[in-house]
Structure 1
Amino acid sequence: MPKPLTDQEKRKQISVRGLAGVENVSDLKTNFNRHLHFTLVKDRNVATKRDYYFALANTVRDHLVGRWIRTQQHYYEKDPKLGLDMEELQDIEEDAGLGNGGLGRLAACFLDSMASLGLAAYGYGIRYEFGIFNQKIVNGWQVEEADDWLRYGNPWEKARPEYMRPVHFYGRVEHTPEGVKWVDTQVVLALPYDTPVPGYRNNVVNTMRLWSAKAPCDFNLKDFNVGGYIQAVLDRNLAENISRVLYPNDNFFEGKELRLKQEYFVVAATLQDIVRRFKSSKFGSTEVVRVDLSTLPDKVAIQLNDTHPALAIPELMRILLDTEHQTWEKAWDIVTRTCAYTNHTVLPEALERWPIDLFQNLLPRHLEIIFEINRRHLERIANLYPGDHDRLRRMSLVEEGDQKKINMAHLCIVGSHAVNGVARIHSDIIKATLFKDFYEVDPHKFQNKTNGITPRRWLVMCNPGLAEVIAERIGEDYIRDLGQLKNLLEFVDDDSLIRDIAKVKQENKLKFSAYLEEHYKVKINPNSMFDVQVKRIHEYKRQLLNCLHIITLYNRIKKEPNKNWTPRTIMIGGKAAPGYHTAKLIIRLITAVGDIVNHDEVVGDRLKVIFLENYKVTLAEKIIPASDLSEQISTAGTEASGTGNMKFMLNGALTIGTMDGANVEMAEEAGEENLFIFGMRVDDVDAMDKSGYDAMEYYNRIPELKLAMDQIAGGYFSPDQHDLFKDIVNMLLHHDRFKVFADYEAYIKCQDKVSALYKNPKEWTKMVIHNIAGCGKFSSDRTISQYAREIWGMEPSLERIPAPDDPRQ
């Protein structure tokens, strides 16, 4: 009799079958060995772990390819509308960090949902050679290292040189009787690489197409003497630098020429690709022929994911006017019906404003088109509001000042048929403040699409134990319809469910504790509360408020060491933009506080502070299932939505947070009594902005706050350099835009409630069940279904595409 499989071994086999799309594990082993021998030319005596990874990846890829081809054939035959999501998109196997913060990760969730819903959708972005930097912590400071993620190749992508497209820069504009011509340009080639995006159990495999910059063969090869030739070949790097590296700023605009080149590069290549596919589908061939593009909006939807692809608007106008010779009115109608804009931030420093001088040099034809869009736009506004010159100034696409600039958000609004925020409160804020003038003119354009996350990656894959416990109670269908999680409420008082969920959490904590010990050389108490804040380091996210709580807790334990304290392991992780001095200093403060707290024998394992180095998706998949408490503590009105908050909620962590972003809707769905909500609301923050925020009043009135600040300022946490944190102290006391002290007292009291509840495991876990049951709304499937129906004019399909004839596929 063979030895029966353990539960863990069964889960592994199920996971392997699901991963590869095969029913027979022996087939998978056969194909794995075939790739190891014939693709990688290795045997087990000399193969490395990387060889094994590539053999497995190629095996899985084999099973995707048949479905991928069948999906594209299905789209071609049915000719459905194309929904597009243009931005650096995803985070795959080897952590291809091709996006910043939540925006890139959100796009990856959207791709998963579009494939799982059977939508004919492409994700477009740039194939950065170097993605978001790798973060090292050296002597407490962040140090950046290049992320050479392609060093060993990428088994998932397929280069498509046959679809390479030219992208033009610089040059000048000629107005001739035959039309407008953009001449004497420099050309860079855009080489596409395709990655399959499989849907969930429906045989659909969509495409993510990323563009890589290549110099043309004749790039600067004008001189035939040896020196000129050598330099010309070396100068090819100037063209290929466009896709070399991702700008690592999150919620901060950096107006560099290379960044504008990147934004135009992805837009120009993508629009050529869209037009090519539109024309070939119309005529049943791959030839690009002359065809009226007036029906483009019936077949194509372009979603501008923030303002980074805003140049799609003038670029599509340029194609329609200069190449297709449409009238302005006809071209503008096509553009506005095709494009829609999603706003992802209200922070003024994050909004893109490009200098006109830079535009004039790099994209002279597009500047002309933007000026004409603006002229017609302002003419309309002047007719609607005669004599209101201030309104014209506020609504102009061109901002006056020492240096004239193009406001890209205004361009997006004017050139789109729909504008949406990413959580209800955020959508209300942009209508009431940021885009108030535009909302008054075109209220019908403005919508809300609350963000979501894919339950496939953020539950089934990263937390299979919890996924299984849920499935045992309500079945597996919730994975495609997350709203079914509400059925868990029937079991909220069921002792067996309470016990099972607590058991899975403890297993995840033990596993993560072992991981920390192995990789970070840190030993923590797995029975302590895992209190976690992981996200980009930014003043508005208020890691400093968390830090002040740590210091306050430390001081309390030191003062009353014999009290029955709830033990906590507080983990903070995230990257600071390399040029963001305050954010890097915040990291240094966290590491400095950790050094003091973690080595204090009086405190012991009742409080530990860990900065999680190099936070990325693969680390998130480990820490989120192990977390007890999720910190979502931004100043009300600053976090557009957040998606980390949803991931923690789905994985059984409780939220301590402000009424900001999607926290508001999370509290509605789970019941506000099942979250730890504290602090100012948006109206309170607005009122304080009007009356004035006086940090010193809080500092002088609250003894624990004063003590913490005096310790930071006096060098208690930096004994070798007493004034190390003077810039943080000065900012918090005198020019803190995000009002940390105003929420300190409420935050500390709320944390006390957290500590008290954690001592009652049963009640804590019942609250967890309420939260998991309330997660249904926060599936990206729901978000994408709303985009499809309410913006793109297409219907999601839960039909399976027939599997390929080859039974192995």
Structure 2
Amino acid sequence: MKKSLPLSDIKSVLEDRGLDQNEVQNVLVEDARTGLTVETLKKAIQNNLFYVQGKYPEIATRNDYYMALAYAVRDRILQRWVASVKQYLQEKHRIVSYLSAEYLLGPHLANNLINLGIYKETEQATKELGISLDWLIEKEVEPGLGNGGLGRLAACYMDSLATLEVPAIGYGIRYQFGIFEQDIRDGWQVEDTDNWLRRGNPWEIARRELSYDVKLGGYLQHYTDRDGKFRSKWIPELTVKGVAYDTPILGYKVNTTNTLRLWKSEAPRSFDFQSFNAGDYNFAVNQKIVCENLSKVLYPNDETLNGKKLRLQQQYFFVSCSLQDMIGIHLRQGEKIEDFQSTFSVQLNDTHPAVAIAEMMRLLLDEHDLDWSTAWRVTSRTFAYTNHTLLPEALEKWDLELFQSVLPRHLEIIYEINRRFLDEVTVRVYGDPEKIRSLSLIGEGPRKYIKMANLACVGSYAINGVAALHTELLKKTVLKDFYALYPEKFSNKTNGVTPRRWMVLSNPKLTELISSKIGDGWIKHLEELSGLEKFADDPDFQKQWMDVKLEMKKNLARKIKNRTGIDVNPESMFDIQVKRIHEYKRQHLNILHVITLYNRIKQNPEIDIVPRTFVFAGKAAPGYKLAKLMIKLINSVGDIVNNDPDVKDRLKVVFYPNYNVTNAQKIYPAADLSEQISTAGKEASGTGNMKLSMNGALTIGTLDGANVEIRECVGEENFFLFGLTAEEVARIKSEGYNPYGYYQNNAELKLAMDQISSGYFSHLDDTVFKDLVKSLLYDDQFLLFADYQSYIECQDKVDVAYRDKVKWAKMSILNTARMGKFSSDRSIQEYCEDIWKVKSVPVSLNGN
């Protein structure tokens, strides 16, 4: 990457080249906008503070300085962004289009400084201005555009696409409000508004001129056109305008800067002047309110019919805007609509954007007048589908009547896709009615429904899972009939995470230590971490490694004290489970282990156990009552354990509120033990397991998702394995699983459950956890009791291993050293080679 000369040297150099005074001034202005030196950065911050924020230092707020710095960094990215877009379009490269309902990006500022390679320069520039860079970084509010692994994966993939210099554009929704801010009151999760845009967003650029109309509701008119073709005309009840907001996504130390294009919903006419003049002030702005609801909040509560309807409208809204935008880009390059797939390869990130297949057909048939066969050829060569779940309830299904009320034309198209598809299927499976029902896009029952995963499978040229085990289970279970029909479509693409955010940014001390031994090439080529293996037995390196870990634990301990008021011992083992709260992820198995240790201490106060700090974090969906009960249980157990004098600080339980990217970056580097304890066969992949291992945490886990591959890579001896396999889970369920029998026959389990049930942890109120106890004793879908004893015994092995500091340090180093496979760069490279068929396109900047 080209570095700028200091301003003090530029003028004389330019004058020596024969430039006149005006030309010199133009170059100086350009350098002030794009220069990467301490001097130019200082000047840029000062200029933005005055000319953009309208402030001078004596009255400038912390947010003013943050915005001034953010705009200075964005200016330097814009030069690369414009060059990238220009080169892609001029040279007509195939572009990857990533459709995702979520992008859990995390804060931009520090990540962009690292990718630009100017973190230290910026730190010095702000220091010379009398402000702290850390102080400004902490001011940034992270974008509320995602919730969990799906959105975080999309963000990692956008980072890797840019770093690998692959032309790409991510499409999604510009949610005004994130899912929610989580607070804990009296142990319960309380949801508050996540108004992440309240102070503005300096990273985005509104493209007001770039907007598309999206139809919703209404009815169809059928007619025969002048050529004798049967046509459908959609008369919508409502038309919404989607306006583009673009955010640059910069690669690591490359010029490539891709686009994240998010759509904001607006009314085509936001104010009814006639109604206002007539005194009907509410009706005058009613359409504005209705239309803006579509991009108002991430994942509206869909327990109600209106909530379900809004969610379907959201999905269709961003898909329609995105496809119209892609078609516009394609046609402006002088290409024929029949060759759309030569310009874009569109990846569906789970089933949320699967309606894109029907929308693409509608656009080609109704707007661009293609015949069915040609339209289907284009569509089926455009889309690829990533499946992210094995849970049948998570494979989206839409009630047919609801779907018809929102998208009547699309229902008609889906019926036609299904008719043609089932004609093919009937021949190939020789009339097997059960298989035909399984493959059909329409589900039968008391109420018919549309199976979005089936639509995605039929309309995509490639289907992939996100971990080796997950993909194999897809082939054998939820998508087995599609695999039998189209085995050539299926492949595995194990997830990965970006080391730039999850190591370099989150754990700078560890990054510095690693680079001092093996150089910094690993940041772009994570497999180079294997060079650490030769230091795994080095006592000096082990000490340095564990000193960094202790420093990260001290940092987290301070955060925990400030956030929760709980004092924790940094010398204790930090036992971490941070992820979305869900029964299949089994946070309640973890807390049963805490209760078991607590009871052992109560029964023998002098017992010798390794001191542990248990850290939980994660959000429960607002309507998920059992998940919210699990949070309450964790906090209630913590209230007892943390304050019992018999425990003597040997156990501490912390629930860290409002888990998001910002907080995750503080937690991962401090972890000693990574809890990956989901029921085997339920987790598609997981990415938290990767981030924790990269930062030197040892994993206790089942053979589920990417745990299987992590264990293969780090070595069985460096992984604490427990529990049933996916095959054993299936067998036990088929034979008739009786959780009550496990409860009756295990004394420690029975004592723990009886304490929860009796109100021991809830001020003797035996009703608080009644529903949670009932679900575990009589309806344990996730075999928690079946895995309990194996888990407890495995945790006892962890206790023994942690006592051997030399062995633990070696295991920790090897965990990091062997995580090269789990970079999102590797994942994206596989997508590029096997699915998208695209190559890197290095971007030139000013001819360099």
Same fold (TM over 0.5): yes
Q: Structure 2 stretches of 5 or more lacking a match?
A: 1-32, 108-140, 226-230
CA drift at 1:223: 5.3
Q: Structure 1 stretches of 5 or more lacking a match?
A: 1-19, 283-290
**Distance across 1 between alignment mates of 2:345 and 2:303:** 26
Q: Which residue matches 1:199?
A: 251
Q: Is the contact made by 1:136 and 1:144 (CA closer than 8 Å) also made in structure 2?
A: yes
**Distance across 2 between alignment mates of 1:408 and 1:547:** 36
**Distance across 2 between alignment mates of 1:462 and 1:555:** 36
Q: Which residue matches 2:210?
A: 163
**Matching of residue 129 in structure 1 with residue 176 in structure 2:** yes
**Distance across 1 between alignment mates of 2:575 and 2:590:** 10
CA drift at 1:644: 0.3
Q: Given the superposition, is the C-alpha separation of residues 249 and 548 from structure 1 closer, same or farther in structure 2, using an over 3 Å criterion?
A: farther
Q: Given the superposition, is the C-alpha separation of residues 205 and 61 from structure 1 closer, same or farther in structure 2, using an over 3 Å criterion?
A: same
**Distance across 2 between alignment mates of 1:424 and 1:22:** 45
- For residue 105 of structure 1, the aligned residue among 123, 146, 152 is 152
- For residue 407 of structure 1, the aligned residue among 444, 451, 473 is 451
Q: TM-score, length-normalised on structure 2? A: 0.89
Per-residue CA deviation, residues 383-440 of structure 1 (Å, 9 max, x unaligned), is 1122311211111100111111000000000000001110010000010010111111
**Matching of residue 262 in structure 1 with residue 314 in structure 2:** yes
Per-residue CA deviation, residues 435-483 of structure 1 (Å, 9 max, x unaligned), is 1111111110111110000000000111011111111111111111111
Q: Which residue matches 1:688?
A: 732
**Matching of residue 62 in structure 1 with residue 114 in structure 2:** no
Q: Given the superposition, is the C-alpha separation of residues 244 and 184 from structure 1 closer, same or farther in structure 2, using an over 3 Å criterion?
A: closer
Q: Which amino acid counterpart does residue 150 of structure 2 have in structure 1?
A: L
CA drift at 1:605: 1.3
**Distance across 2 between alignment mates of 1:744 and 1:402:** 39
CA drift at 1:488: 1.5
Q: Which residue matches 2:263?
A: 211
- For residue 605 of structure 1, the aligned residue among 636, 649, 653 is 649
CA drift at 1:224: 7.6
Q: Which amino acid counterpart does residue 168 of structure 2 have in structure 1?
A: A
**Distance across 1 between alignment mates of 2:302 and 2:402:** 22
**Matching of residue 49 in structure 1 with residue 62 in structure 2:** yes
**Distance across 2 between alignment mates of 1:392 and 1:437:** 9
Q: Is the contact made by 1:252 and 1:351 (CA closer than 8 Å) also made in structure 2?
A: no
CA drift at 1:181: 2.1
Per-residue CA deviation, residues 511-569 of structure 1 (Å, 9 max, x unaligned), is 11112222322211010000010001000000010010000011112222223220000
Q: Which residue matches 1:779?
A: 823
Q: Which residue matches 1:239?
A: 291
Q: Is the contact made by 2:701 and 2:722 (CA closer than 8 Å) also made in structure 1?
A: yes
**Matching of residue 76 in structure 1 with residue 123 in structure 2:** no
Per-residue CA deviation, residues 183-220 of structure 1 (Å, 9 max, x unaligned), is 24421100110001000101111110000000012777
Q: Is the contact made by 2:758 and 2:764 (CA closer than 8 Å) also made in structure 1?
A: no
Per-residue CA deviation, residues 275-317 of structure 1 (Å, 9 max, x unaligned), is 01111123xxxxxxxx632221122111010010011101110
- For residue 844 of structure 2, the aligned residue among 788, 792, 802 is 802
Q: Which residue matches 2:323?
A: 271
**Distance across 2 between alignment mates of 1:784 and 1:255:** 34
| Secondary structure, aligned partner of 1:161 | strand
Q: Which residue matches 1:287?
A: none
**How many positions carry a matched residue from both structures?**
777
- For residue 766 of structure 1, the aligned residue among 810, 816, 833 is 810
Farther off after superposition, 369-378 or 386-395:
386-395
Q: Is the contact made by 2:315 and 2:352 (CA closer than 8 Å) also made in structure 1?
A: yes
Q: Is the contact made by 1:715 and 1:724 (CA closer than 8 Å) also made in structure 2?
A: yes
**Distance across 1 between alignment mates of 2:704 and 2:519:** 33
**Matching of residue 32 in structure 1 with residue 45 in structure 2:** yes
- For residue 740 of structure 1, the aligned residue among 779, 784, 791 is 784
Q: Is the contact made by 1:698 and 1:742 (CA closer than 8 Å) also made in structure 2?
A: yes
Q: Which amino acid counterpart does residue 440 of structure 1 have in structure 2?
A: A
Q: Is the contact made by 2:698 and 2:812 (CA closer than 8 Å) also made in structure 1?
A: yes
Farther off after superposition, 732-741 or 177-186:
177-186
Q: Which residue matches 1:89?
A: 103
Q: Which amino acid counterpart does residue 644 of structure 1 have in structure 2?
A: G
Per-residue CA deviation, residues 219-272 of structure 1 (Å, 9 max, x unaligned), is 777758614464132342011100001116799999710001001000000001
Farther off after superposition, 219-228 or 532-541:
219-228
Q: TM-score, length-normalised on structure 1? A: 0.94
Identity of aligned residues (%): 50
Q: Which residue matches 2:163?
A: 116
Q: Is the contact made by 1:251 and 1:350 (CA closer than 8 Å) also made in structure 2?
A: no
Q: Which residue matches 1:296?
A: 340
Q: Which residue matches 2:572?
A: 528
| Secondary structure, aligned partner of 1:383 | helix
Q: Which amino acid counterpart does residue 365 of structure 1 have in structure 2?
A: R
| Secondary structure, aligned partner of 1:106 | helix
**Distance across 2 between alignment mates of 1:574 and 1:251:** 21
**Matching of residue 149 in structure 1 with residue 149 in structure 2:** no
**Distance across 2 between alignment mates of 1:27 and 1:413:** 52
Q: Given the superposition, is the C-alpha separation of residues 555 and 249 from structure 1 closer, same or farther in structure 2, using an over 3 Å criterion?
A: farther
| Secondary structure, aligned partner of 2:142 | coil
**Distance across 1 between alignment mates of 2:806 and 2:264:** 53
**Distance across 2 between alignment mates of 1:402 and 1:113:** 45
| Secondary structure, aligned partner of 2:290 | helix
Per-residue CA deviation, residues 310-356 of structure 1 (Å, 9 max, x unaligned), is 11101110111112211211111110110011000111221111111
CA drift at 1:97: 2.2
**Distance across 2 between alignment mates of 1:338 and 1:234:** 38
**Distance across 2 between alignment mates of 1:357 and 1:723:** 39
Q: Is the contact made by 1:248 and 1:577 (CA closer than 8 Å) also made in structure 2?
A: no
Q: Is the contact made by 2:674 and 2:699 (CA closer than 8 Å) also made in structure 1?
A: yes
- For residue 753 of structure 1, the aligned residue among 788, 797, 810 is 797
Q: Is the contact made by 2:560 and 2:567 (CA closer than 8 Å) also made in structure 1?
A: yes
| Secondary structure, aligned partner of 2:209 | helix
Q: Which residue matches 2:744?
A: 700
**Distance across 2 between alignment mates of 1:324 and 1:417:** 22
Q: Given the superposition, is the C-alpha separation of residues 218 and 201 from structure 1 closer, same or farther in structure 2, using an over 3 Å criterion?
A: closer
**Matching of residue 793 in structure 1 with residue 793 in structure 2:** no
Q: Which amino acid counterpart does residue 191 of structure 1 have in structure 2?
A: V
Q: Which amino acid counterpart does residue 92 of structure 1 have in structure 2?
A: G
CA drift at 1:358: 1.4
**Distance across 1 between alignment mates of 2:43 and 2:175:** 35
Matches within 5 A, 1:296-695: 296-695=340-739
Q: Which residue matches 1:288?
A: none
| Secondary structure, aligned partner of 2:405 | helix
- For residue 175 of structure 1, the aligned residue among 199, 209, 222 is 222
CA drift at 1:719: 1.7
| Secondary structure, aligned partner of 2:600 | helix
**Distance across 1 between alignment mates of 2:398 and 2:272:** 28
CA drift at 1:91: 2.1
Q: Given the superposition, is the C-alpha separation of residues 253 and 479 from structure 1 closer, same or farther in structure 2, using an over 3 Å criterion?
A: farther
Per-residue CA deviation, residues 480-518 of structure 1 (Å, 9 max, x unaligned), is 111111122122212222121111101111111112222
Per-residue CA deviation, residues 84-109 of structure 1 (Å, 9 max, x unaligned), is 11112232322212122110111000
Farther off after superposition, 766-775 or 252-261:
252-261
Q: Is the contact made by 1:252 and 1:349 (CA closer than 8 Å) also made in structure 2?
A: no
Q: Which amino acid counterpart does residue 156 of structure 1 have in structure 2?
A: W
CA RMSD after TM alignment: 1.9
